[in-house]
Chain A
Amino acid sequence: MDSQLLVIILIDGLVYASYLFMVSVGLTVICGVQKILNVTHGALYAFGAYLTATLLIVYFEAGWPQFGAFFVMLVSAIFLGIVLGVIIERGLLKHLYHEDEHIVVLATFAAFLVLEDVLLLIWGTDAYIAAEPLMLLGQTDIAELPFDNYSLSMVLLSAVVCVILWYGLRRTTFGKMLLAVIYDRELSQAMGINVTKVFLLTFIVGSFLGALGGAYQAPAISVQPGIGVEVIVLAFAVVVIGGMGSIPGALIGSLVVGIARAAAVHMEPVLELFVIYMIMAFVLIVRPQGLFAPAKPRKI
């Protein structure tokens, strides 16, 4: 293997891993705290991408300061995280916490399908392209190979998200309350933690992260129907590999899948998707709870 190939695999892998981390970390946080597999996460990603793409097209036509585009992404994600997050959690999940896990997955899957249709109603089947931010940042040569700075900035963004989450969980009171709920829901209640509130806030944060993943990815892709499904499948794979509910797990799972996929793409492209599911199957066989499984989910 020549060194250029190695560089390209590592950098592409890292970029793809960052993207995977962005879409899976919200899923795993929700999974850890609320003990649910939230399929609507894929819809949050798609909404994030669509809303951002639409707003960016308007924004750049209006000729406003170019770097404000990043602000548009952030605001879209916050808006969607709060609005959709509250609607889904208060309107649906709240009523299902005492139900069987399978019912909850089915319910979130149903909600996902509904949201996908809402997407079609709002945006139709056209593809939206809003690549200005991508152009704006230009390219950098690494080992004589050109890379989009926008893609590289994805690595920076997920590193920032990772640090903020780590700090938020370990160093703030709300983070500790959240950890307490992850470790032992009933004990947390007995200790006076308002679990209902923690659930809602967690879901908003998780949904925001899903929407942010879509928002930031929007300029780099053609935003069209089906992106939500693709993302939820990949995010599930990462979360299963890393261990459901574990943030370090999502990080390592993303890196493993990202690098493996990049290696496949550049060496044996037909294997692109195969490697991801092969890793998942392998992990499930040797370590069914995932690489970084946190404390076992308890049912109350």
Chain B
Amino acid sequence: MKTTPESRRGAGYRAFLAHRLSGLALAVFLPAHFLTLGLALEGAEALDRFLAFAELPLVKAAEWSLVVLLATHLGLGARLLVLELGPWRGLRIAWVGWAVGIAAVTGLAFLAVA
């Protein structure tokens, strides 16, 4: 038996996990997203079909997750860029909260307009 490392419980580690997993998910979903968009551009009829398709609840949910994933990845990535390229002022753990908050607000805003 080994105990779980305490290093896995910190906000920094969770931010890393969220950043990595959202990145991987984006790498899988974005090509699918662009593929559907590409199909939509193939003509008016195809576009109509696509718009109808985009109204399907499952597709809406997928779009919503894409937006939330993007916002999460962007926010956490911005923190990393500032940590690595900006002047050193500590780990800026509070920014993890901000990034998650911004992702949540973006997600809600998407729900409101969708």
Please indicate whether A and B come from the same complex rather than being unrelated chains.
Answer: no
